[in-house]
């Protein structure tokens, strides 16, 4: 078990940077795509929206449980949410690697809602991972004051990311070409 908090924080930042770079490389479309894309890959975007919706509900339930002082259930819900968010990330990477991006129609007036929502979602999704990992570090170590301080930022950002992920999907899904 790693006891040195400095080492753990370096790992947290290393993992966060690696994930950010992996998604950025993916966005450049430099990886070779399989000749035939399996049909199940096209359903991953809907799965991702379901995962995000579930994470939203789990985060809200976790908040409710901690306000009731049910620390054990709070921890379990957050670990489940993190596991689902990790599954989301793998699914997101697979989908965008094989299928690519879908463009929102430029002539659709909802673009004035869609693009600010999408941009804020992407920026906050890219920044929330180290906050989540640090929140887990302090929570699992039962460093309650440190945990509370960072969760004041982590929770609303994570909740925003999971909620807007569903909204972005609902707005872009009619334009999928598969």
Tally of structural domains, the chain: 1
Q: Please write the tens of the pLDDT for every residue from 16-25.
A: 888 888 777 7
User: Which pLDDT value is given to residue 1?
Assistant: 47
Q: Please write the tens of the pLDDT for every residue from 20-66.
A: 887 777 766 666 677 788 999 999 999 999 999 999 999 999 999 99
Which tokens hold the place of 91? 């699914």
* DSSP assignment string, 100-164: ---PPPTT-TTHHHHHHHHHHHHHHHHHHHHHHHHHHHHHHTT-HHHHHHHHHHHHHHHHHHHHH
Full residue range of the structural domain in which residue 67 is found: 5-175
Instruction: Find out whether 40 and 98 touch, Cβ atoms under 8 Å.
Output: no
For the whole model, what pTM was predicted?
0.87
CATH number for 158: 1.20.120
Angle at 100 between CA 21 and CA 170, to 5 degrees: 100
């Amino acid at each position: 078990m790693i006891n040195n908090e400095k080492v753990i924080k370096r790992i947290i930042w290393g993992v966060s940077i690696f994930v950010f770079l992996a998604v950025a490389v993916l966005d450049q479309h430099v990886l070779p795509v399989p000749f035939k894309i399996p049909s199940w890959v096209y359903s991953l975007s809907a799965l991702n929206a379901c995962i995000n919706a579930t994470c939203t509900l789990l985060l809200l339930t976790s908040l409710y449980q901690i306000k009731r002082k049910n620390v054990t259930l709070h921890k379990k819900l957050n670990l489940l949410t993190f596991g689902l968010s990790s599954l989301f990330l793998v699914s997101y990477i697979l989908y965008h690697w094989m299928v690519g991006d879908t463009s929102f129609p430029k002539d659709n007036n909802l673009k004035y809602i869609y693009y600010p929502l999408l941009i804020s979602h992407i920026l906050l999704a890219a920044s929330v991972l180290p906050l989540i990992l640090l929140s887990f570090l302090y929570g699992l170590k039962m460093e309650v004051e440190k945990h509370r301080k960072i969760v004041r930022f982590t929770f609303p950002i994570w909740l925003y990311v999971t909620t807007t992920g569903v909204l972005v999907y609902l707005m872009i899904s009619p334009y999928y070409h598969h």
